[in-house]
Amino acid sequence: MTEDPIKLYVVVMSILVAVLGWVAQTSWKQASAFEQAVEQAPGHAKSISQLTAEVNRLCDQLSKSKLRTARHKTLIEDAVRDNGIEVAGLGEEPNPKLIGSKGIERRFFVEIRRSGTSRPVTRERIARFCRQVEQDSRGILKTIEIRLTRDSSADGVPAGKEGTIVDDTYTGTIVFGLRVVKAES
Domain ranges of the chain: 1-64, 67-181
Helices marked H in 65-122: 72-82
- As a whole number of angstroms, the distance between CA 113 and CA 174 comes to 11
The residues near 169 (Cβ < 8 Å, ≥ 6 apart) are: 119, 120, 121, 122, 150, 151, 154
- As a whole number of angstroms, the distance between CA 185 and CA 8 comes to 68
CATH homologous superfamily, domain 67-181: Ribosomal protein S6/Translation elongation factor EF1B (3.30.70.60)
Give the per-residue pLDDT at 16.
Answer: 93
Give the per-residue pLDDT at 164.
Answer: 61
Give the per-residue pLDDT at 158.
Answer: 61
Using 70 as the pLDDT threshold, list the residues of the chain that sit under it: 1-2, 62-71, 114-120, 152-168, 182-185
Query: Model's pTM, two decimal places?
Result: 0.56
